[in-house]
């Protein structure tokens, strides 16, 4: 679940509402239905994540939702997802405060640092306004270090 949040830049509710039919493994796409603002969007899903999901599917055999709770065909709960995150933080011995949204934020930041255009990131995150997406521009110091001064070409 945590890998999928990071790999696709999902919000908590978007992850919990994913259904099996939302994964298009042949095209490498994931459909997010009724995200924030009741928006639908499509994001790429890496072959590595698809392989992880196939393994998960073989073990868990969900019926409707990709991640199901105690009752079949019912979505996994937010509280249980928080426990998964807390357990992962403890196992990895991370001392900094980590939230589920931090994974989404990292996804956007890493896309930006690797040269992805801000307009694409806006679309992938499902932001209505580019102003919302622009919050990620101030955190990308790694990219700033790679900017070459035009003075060098004189």
Q: Are 42 and 94 in contact (CB under 8 A)?
A: no
Give me the residue label for tokens 């709960």: 77
The CATH number linked to 41 is 1.10.443.10
Under 8 Å CB-to-CB from 73, ≥6 apart: which residues?
A: 63, 64, 65
Beta bridge partners of 31: 42
Does any domain span residue 151?
Answer: no
**Distance separating alpha carbons of residues 49 and 56, to the nearest angstrom:** 10
First to last CA, the chain: 51
Of the candidates 6, 65, 104, 107, the residue annotated as catalytic is 104
Evaluated on CA atoms 93, 97, 99, 104, the torsion sign reads negative
Does any domain span residue 154?
Answer: no
Q: Is residue 11 flagged as an active site residue? A: yes
Structural Rg of the chain based on CA atoms? 18
Beta bridge partners of 40: none
Q: Is residue 27 flagged as an active site residue? A: no
Residue 133 banded pLDDT, cuts 50, 70, 90? confident
Does any domain span residue 12?
Answer: yes
Does any domain span residue 149?
Answer: no
Task: Give alpha helix (H) positions in the chain.
Answer: 2-8, 12-16, 47-60, 78-92, 100-113, 118-125, 130-133, 141-145
Does any domain span residue 109?
Answer: yes
Does any domain span residue 152?
Answer: no
The per-residue pLDDT for 35 is 59
Does any domain span residue 128?
Answer: yes
**Distance separating alpha carbons of residues 123 and 140, to the nearest angstrom:** 19
Of the candidates 48, 101, 119, 142, the residue annotated as catalytic is 101
Residue 48 has pLDDT above 90, yes or no: yes
Of the candidates 27, 36, 48, 86, the residue annotated as catalytic is 36
Distances (CA, A) of 154 to 149, 150, 151: 10, 7, 5
The per-residue pLDDT for 65 is 95
Residue 43 banded pLDDT, cuts 50, 70, 90? very high
Domain range spanning residue 89?
2-144
Residue 79 banded pLDDT, cuts 50, 70, 90? very high
Residue 132 has pLDDT above 80, yes or no: no
Number of folded domains that form the chain = 1
Of the candidates 6, 65, 76, 136, the residue annotated as catalytic is 136
Residue 33 banded pLDDT, cuts 50, 70, 90? confident
Does any domain span residue 26?
Answer: yes
The per-residue pLDDT for 12 is 93
Share of the chain above pLDDT 70, in %: 86
């Amino acid at each position: 679940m945590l890998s999928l949040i990071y790999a696709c830049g999902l919000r908590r509710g978007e992850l919990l509402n994913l259904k099996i039919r939302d994964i298009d493994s042949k095209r490498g796409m994931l459909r997010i239905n009724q995200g924030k603002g009741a928006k639908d969007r499509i994001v790429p899903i890496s072959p590595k994540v698809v392989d992880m999901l196939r393994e998960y599917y073989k073990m868990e055999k969900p019926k409707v939702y990709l991640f199901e709770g105690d009752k079949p065909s019912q979505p996994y709960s937010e509280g249980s997802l928080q426990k998964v995150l807390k357990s992962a933080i403890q196992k990895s011995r991370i001392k900094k405060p980590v939230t589920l949204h931090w994974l989404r934020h990292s996804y956007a930041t890493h896309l930006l640092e690797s040269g992805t255009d801000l307009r694409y990131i806006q679309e992938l995150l499902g932001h209505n306004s580019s102003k919302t997406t622009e919050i990620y521009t101030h955190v990308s110091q790694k990219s700033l270090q790679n900017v070459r001064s035009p003075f060098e070409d004189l």
